[in-house]
Structure 1
Amino acid sequence: MQITKKFIVVGAGIVALVAGGGVAFAATTSTAAAPKVTAEQAMEIAHKQVAGAWVSEIDYQNGGTRPDVWEVELTKGTERHELDVDAATGKVTKHQTDKDDDHGRDDHDDD
């Protein structure tokens, strides 16, 4: 009976050490800071560039060799605008416009 209690105590100690180590590891690996510019602010900045458009997509791109940016896609009529908004400064670093030639119609046969 004494041996069983020792195994239980040792086993509980190992579980506690592993769980504590996992928490410590997670805390050290998740050091990514939140962007200074929020998604809502990025959308407002994009709307100032393309008044009357609606946001069809927004993505946060971080890491790598380039600065963190919000990639905002807006649609206005038959135009699609893609903007990159710097997540630290709020400055628009890219603005690309594409014209939708088929006016939103899908002419492909989807059988």
Structure 2
Amino acid sequence: MQITKKFIIVGAGVLTLVAGGGVAYAATSSSAAAPRITAERAMQIAHQRVPGAWVSEVDYDGRGTRADVWEIELTKGSMHHELDVDAATGRILKYETERADRDDHGDDDRRGRGHDDRDDD
């Protein structure tokens, strides 16, 4: 009877240590640290680069081994701007611009302009 009680107590202690360690590991491995640069600050940085533009999209991209970034898309007039702002330093890592009235293939974007692609027979 004494051996059974000791075995149960030792087993419960080991189970507690294993479960606690698993929870601690999960907490450290699955929760990424919050970015030092906030979304609001990243948008301010983007507006410094493209004054007068309006922000159409903001996404946080946690990239693992590469620097985490805020991906910001802005529009000013007929130009579309895409910036990657480093979430730790606030540096602009990527800046691309293109005409907003073109699609990915370089064709005019005629959606919403009354253009119909069907042949008139």
Find the aligned partners of 1:20 and 1:105 in 2 and give their Cα distance: 59
User: Retained in 2: the 8 A contact 1:78–1:104?
Assistant: no
Conserved in 1, the CA contact under 8 Å of 2:71 and 2:82? Answer: yes
How far apart are the structure 2 equivalents of 1:73 and 1:43?
A: 9
RMSD of aligned Cα (Å): 2.7
* TM superposition score normalised by structure 2: 0.64
**Cα distance, 1:63 vs. partner?**
2.5
- Name the aligned partner's letter for residue 75 of structure 2: T
Cα offset for 1:101?
A: 3.3
Distance in 1, matches of 2:48 and 2:61, equals 21
- For 1:93, the equivalent position in structure 2 comes to 93
Residue 49 of structure 1 aligns with an amino acid whose one-letter code is R
Q: Is the alpha carbon distance of 1:30 and 1:108 closer, same or farther for their aligned partners in structure 2, counting shifts above 3 Å?
A: farther
Identity of aligned residues (%): 63
Give the equivalent residue in structure 2 for 1:44: 44
Greater mean deviation of Cα atoms: 46-55 or 64-73: 64-73
Structure 1 alignment gaps of length 5 or more:
1-16
Return the offset for 1:98.
Answer: 0.6
Whichever of the two has the greater Rg, that structure is 2
- Range with greater deviation from structure 2 (84-93 or 94-103): 94-103
> Where do 1:54-93 residues align within 5 Å?
54-93=54-93
Cα distance, 1:66 vs structure 2: 1.8
How much does 1:64 deviate? Answer: 3.1
AA partner of residue 99 (structure 1): R
**Structure 2: stretches of 5+ with no match in the other structure:** 1-15, 103-107
CA displacement 1:57-89 (0-9 Å, x = unmatched): 011111333211100000111110000100010
Q: Report the number of matched residues.
A: 95
